[in-house]
Amino acid sequence: MVTTFPATARLKRPSEYVQALKGRRIARGALFVVNTPRSSGESFPQEQARLGLIIPKRSAPLAVTRNQIKRILRETFRHQRHQLPARDYVFRLHSKVPDISLRQLKELVRNEAEEHLKRVQQ
């Protein structure tokens, strides 16, 4: 199975983010909240799951940290994208990133992302 992450699997417009954030929260963990629109969007029917990321500078002040978090989330989503329902998913970092090493942060982010995506699949 090909597990690419094409541009069609990403949220691009601010209106898409707003619709997802006004929707329902489907998961919340130590670092992230995952939201999805209430309806699947009858005006724009989805054929695949799409990902949106909100990683604010106030929660992760270093660009290296923000970029690493985004890479891990995209990679985790890419591997599980084909098993997810065809909806928009917005991962929002809601708490300050703990002062830990980059290796520990990667593991923490990956574990939480996998847990949230498994919850979505059920």
Report the distance separating Cα 34 and Cα 21, nearest Å. Answer: 9
- Judge: domain 7-121, CATH 3.30.230.10: yes
Residue of 100, 20, 101, 96 whose CA lies nearest to 53: 20
pLDDT at residue 41 in the model = 52
pLDDT at residue 42 in the model = 47
| Helix (H/G/I), strand (E/B), else coil: 38 | coil
Query: Domains of the chain: which residue ranges?
Result: 7-121
pLDDT at residue 74 in the model = 95
pLDDT per residue as tens, the chain (122 positions): 556 788 888 999 999 999 999 999 999 999 999 999 987 554 455 688 999 999 999 999 999 999 999 999 999 999 998 899 889 999 999 999 999 999 999 999 999 999 999 998 87
pTM (two decimals): 0.89
